[in-house]
Amino acid sequence: MKREITLRVNNKNETLAVDDADSLLEVLRDRLKLWSVRESCGVGACGSCTVLLDGRPVSSCLLLAVRSTGREITTLEGLGDGQSLHPIQQAFVNERALQCAYCTPGFVLSVKALLDELPHPSEEEAKEYLSGNLCRCAGYAEILRAVRSAQEKTAR
Ligand code: FES
Ligand code: FES
């Protein structure tokens, strides 16, 4: 059954008709064309579909779109100013913390949530926070260096 819902995505209201069974991932990607939200495992195990829900990282493949109304949803497209890279994205580039970049949007959003919550995380805290995001080709050492570098730029 279709129903009309309004999602708040990247500071904009988006009203659309969805099936009750549509995941947030499907709606963000297939309907709103937010290509940074990527599907890999489809079962909440890889983090490539990570978005922020009220500032917290969640796997959008596990969430129903109809249960996501009234929340602030942020995808990678909502992070920068549209002109230049966000400091966390720049840190990933500077530290060569990506290769194919399939996992990178999810990692960047998880790092954003981490640094919002813990501006000065220890390496163990960063590892723990990012444990839901998997990367199959870049090195985790580079990703942790990117976290440190981003932390220096974003620390309050
Ligand atoms: S596609 Fe959602 S966690 Fe893997
Ligand atoms: S950079 Fe390829 S999966 Fe992470």
* CA atoms of 24 and 82, how far apart (whole Å): 23
User: How large a percentage of the chain has pLDDT more than 70?
Assistant: 99
* CA atoms of 137 and 140, how far apart (whole Å): 9
Strand ranges of the sheet holding 12-19, from the earlier edge strand across to the other edge: 12-19, 2-9, 72-74, 50-53, 56-59
Q: Can you give the C-alpha Rg of the chain in angstroms?
A: 15
| Closest ligand 1 atom to Cα of 38 | 1
Instruction: Summarize pLDDT for 91-131 with one digit per residue, the tens.
Output: 999 999 999 999 999 999 999 999 999 999 999 999 999 99
Give yes or no for residue 81 having a pLDDT over 90: no
Fold held by 87-154? DNA polymerase; domain 1 (1.10.150)
Tokens encoding 98:
């990506």
Query: Which pLDDT score is estimated for 80?
Result: 81
Give yes or no for residue 36 having a pLDDT over 90: yes
Q: In the chain, where does the domain assigned CATH 3.10.20.30 lie?
A: 2-78
For every residue of 8-19, DSSP letters joined together read EETTEEEEEEEE
Ligand 1 centre and the CA of 135: distance in Å?
12
Around ligand 1, the residues with Cβ closer than 6 Å are 39-42, 44-49, 59, 61
Q: What is the mean pLDDT of the chain?
A: 95
Instruction: Summarize pLDDT for 41-64 with one digit per residue, the tens.
Output: 999 999 999 999 999 999 999 999
Ligand 2 centre and the CA of 104: distance in Å?
7
Q: CATH classification of 2-78 is 3.10.20.30, yes or no?
A: yes
Give yes or no for residue 138 having a pLDDT over 90: no
Q: Return the best residue to mutate from 135, 143, 144 for the ligand 2 pocket (most ligand atoms within 8 A of CB).
A: 135
Query: Which pLDDT score is estimated for 156?
Result: 61
Which residues touch 131 (CB under 8 Å, ≥6 apart)? none
Q: In the chain, where does the domain assigned CATH 1.10.150.120 lie?
A: 87-154
Ligand 1 centre and the CA of 61: distance in Å?
6
